[in-house]
């Protein structure tokens, strides 16, 4: 019962850590004055952004505003989430495991035997409190714009879970324009809601990244001057497909990706090592066998692939630009210096093409779109960039979204604001369920005693420069979605990736020195692998994993 024993130890450590971090926060982070005990919180999430898409993580896409955020605070190099959208968002909102919070699997992908099981409700359940409910109870205004994906039915909208003002896309993905077209038939047209009321039309000038930024600024402006802090959750739907972006970003990267994904992923790997994002000795994972080598594609196929990546890069830069507008707004209204800013992606890069979505090849659904080369990025296109660019977006890590490889679950994470070390890089392992406990520590807020208590740890000792690690070397952290399994202890990660992206065999890696998961240690350290596999079984029993049948 490795995991249960560890949980009892961890529970004691959590109490000690919280007391210690409170003292450190009071003594070591004195720059956060008493008037700033309740700072504003701006929580920004990108959708399906790969580990190296940002300049500060080794990418070639121009992201000056997010690069500035990294330089202004702490940049994490070993931060983890779940393999897909809604499980990660459930943990972010609750500070708990996705199986406890109701998203043991994405609601759209529940197996028949999982439906109706505890932890598989398909929405953020009432066993947990949401981040918005917590901070609303602490006197905060709570605002949200963008992607929710934690409940499509009335009663489970973000407005029902503690947000005062909302304008949200409820589903997993949709057009970034005003047409509300979904990426597959079951979510077409896509569902949106404003302040708890379903809406049937979007503004005629709607573009997701710009509009969500505008709407959040309007919400903040609406209560400005009343003395209350705010929690603003800006959940961009970029860079999730379909790949859409207006000018000038649509043409910005023309020709930039003609060399292909193999060349670019090596370039990013080299840049990440030069920046210290991964060790200088880190090896680049082999190209997955199901990704066609660039030189085997026809000229027409290479042009189409390159144009898709050009559009994706433009989307990411546009997202950076609109995030920057929100930061400038906070500066203009004299709130920036008293705002904690957090940025992360919900999972790794997406390997699917648009036709891989369930039902997307249905002729009636497909005839809505114009997926010609000339229309990529424009309204009525429904294009995703596929596995070749996905492994590139994740470089120097292995694989991508929907897998428990590092490319699927290690993502960019940056946090800045009063009391946080500026210009720091941390190689501490941290997990998405740690975000809410960290904010509780910073603000002195309390989580409701009648709910399942957060399992995450506060990152505050690391953020304030008082500690190097969030977890001790013998602590165990694991996860599961879609049959993929992982268990982390110190530097070591046991991982099992099922078909179609793996072979279902457990392997062992030291991800501190081998983030590309190239060197399997299971033959050299069989006892450790056996121990971590047993720990995963204990974890699965503890949180109520129900394997799909």
Query: Tokens 């001057």, residue?
Result: 225
Q: For the chain, give the longest Cα–Cα distance.
A: 64
Which of the 8 DSSP states describes residue 456?
Answer: -
Q: How many CA atoms lie within 13 A of 453 on its CB side?
A: 7
The helix/strand/coil state of 46 is: strand
For residue 440, the surrounding DSSP H or E stretch is: helix 435-443
Q: What is the CB neighbour count within 10 angstroms for residue 416?
A: 24
Surface-to-core class of residue 302, CB atoms within 10 Å of its CB (0-12 exposed, 13-18 middle, 19+ buried): middle
For residue 339, the surrounding DSSP H or E stretch is: strand 339-345
Q: Which residue among 80, 99, 149, 322 is the active-site one?
A: 149
As beta bridge partners, residue 486 has: 479, 495
Q: For strand 79-80 and strand 74-76, is the pairing parallel, antiparallel, or unpaired?
A: unpaired
**Which residues have CB under 8 Å from 139's CB, separation 6+?**
38, 228, 229
For residue 144, the surrounding DSSP H or E stretch is: strand 141-147
Q: Which residue among 85, 99, 152, 176 is the active-site one?
A: 85
**Known catalytic residue: 38?**
no
Q: Residue 398 is encoded by which pair of tokens?
A: 């292995």
C-alpha span between 345 and 410 (Å, rounded): 9
For residue 363, the surrounding DSSP H or E stretch is: helix 363-366
Whether 433 and 29 have beta carbons less than 8 Å apart is answered as: no
**Known catalytic residue: 85?**
yes
C-alpha span between 337 and 325 (Å, rounded): 16
C-alpha span between 220 and 168 (Å, rounded): 16
- Give me the helices (H) in 139-260, please: 208-222, 249-252
Query: Tokens 């299971």, residue?
Result: 522
- The full length of the chain comes to 549
Q: Tell me which residue of 301, 315, 157, 294 sits closest to 246, measured CA to CA.
A: 315
Q: Residue 400 is encoded by which pair of tokens?
A: 């991508």
The helix/strand/coil state of 20 is: helix
Q: What are phi and psi of 43, to 5 degrees?
A: -105, 115
Q: Tell me which residue of 95, 135, 101, 134 sits closest to 118, measured CA to CA.
A: 101
Would you please indicate which residues are annotated as catalytic (active-site) residues? Answer: 85, 149
């Amino acid at each position: 019962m490795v995991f249960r024993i560890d949980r009892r130890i961890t529970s004691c450590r959590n109490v000690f850590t919280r007391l210690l971090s409170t003292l450190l926060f009071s003594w070591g982070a004195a720059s956060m004055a008493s008037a700033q005990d309740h700072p504003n919180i701006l929580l920004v999430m990108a959708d399906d952004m790969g580990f190296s898409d940002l300049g500060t993580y080794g990418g070639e896409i121009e992201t000056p505003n997010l690069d500035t955020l990294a330089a202004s605070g702490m940049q994490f190099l070993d931060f983890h989430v779940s393999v897909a959208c809604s499980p990660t968002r459930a943990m972010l909102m609750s500070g708990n495991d996705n199986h406890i919070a109701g998203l043991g699997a994405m609601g759209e992908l529940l197996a028949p035997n999982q439906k109706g099981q505890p932890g598989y409700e398909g929405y953020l359940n009432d066993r947990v409190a949401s981040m918005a409910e917590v901070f609303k109870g602490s006197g905060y205004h709570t605002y949200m714009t963008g992607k929710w994906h934690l409940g499509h039915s009335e009663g489970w909208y973000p407005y029902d879970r503690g947000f005062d003002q909302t304008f949200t896309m409820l589903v997993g993905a949709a057009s970034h324009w005003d047409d509300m077209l979904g990426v597959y038939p079951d979510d077409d047209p896509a569902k949106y809601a404003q302040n708890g009321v379903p809406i049937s039309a979007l503004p005629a000038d709607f573009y997701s990244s710009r509009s969500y930024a505008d709407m959040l600024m309007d919400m903040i402006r609406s209560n400005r001057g009343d003395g209350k802090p705010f929690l603003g959750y800006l959940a961009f739907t970029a860079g999730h497909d379909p790949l859409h972006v207006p000018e000038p970003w649509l043409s910005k990267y023309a020709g930039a990706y003609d060399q292909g994904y193999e060349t670019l992923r090596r370039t990013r790997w080299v840049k990440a090592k030069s920046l210290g994002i991964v060790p200088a000795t880190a090896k680049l994972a082999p190209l997955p066998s199901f990704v066609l080598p660039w030189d085997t594609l026809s000229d027409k196929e290479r042009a189409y692939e390159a144009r898709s990546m050009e559009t994706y890069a433009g989307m990411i830069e546009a997202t950076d630009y609109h995030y920057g507008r929100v930061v400038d707004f906070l500066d203009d209204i004299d709130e920036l210096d008293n705002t904690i800013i957090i940025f992360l992606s919900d999972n790794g890069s997406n390997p699917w093409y648009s036709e891989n979505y369930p039902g997307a090849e249905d002729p009636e659904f497909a005839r809505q779109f114009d997926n010609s080369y000339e229309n990529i990025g424009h309204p009525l296109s429904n294009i995703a960039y596929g596995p070749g660019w996905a492994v590139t977006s994740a470089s120097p890590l292995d694989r991508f979204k929907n897998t428990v490889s590092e490319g699927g679950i290690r993502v960019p994470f940056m946090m800045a604001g009063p009391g946080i070390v500026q210009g720091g890089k941390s190689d501490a392992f941290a997990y998405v369920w740690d975000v809410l406990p960290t904010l509780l520590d910073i603000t002195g807020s309390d989580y409701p005693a009648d709910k399942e208590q957060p399992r995450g740890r506060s990152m505050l000792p690391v953020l304030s420069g008082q500690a190097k690690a969030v977890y001790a070397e013998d602590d165990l952290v694991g996860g599961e979605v879609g049959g993929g399994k992982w268990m982390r202890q110190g530097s070591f990660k046991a991982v099992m990736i099922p078909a179609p992206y793996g072979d279902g065999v457990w392997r062992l890696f030291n991800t501190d020195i081998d983030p590309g998961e190239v060197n399997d240690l299971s033959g050299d350290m069989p006892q450790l692998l056996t121990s971590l596999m047993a720990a995963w079984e204990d974890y699965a029993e503890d949180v109520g994993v129900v394997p799909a049948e």
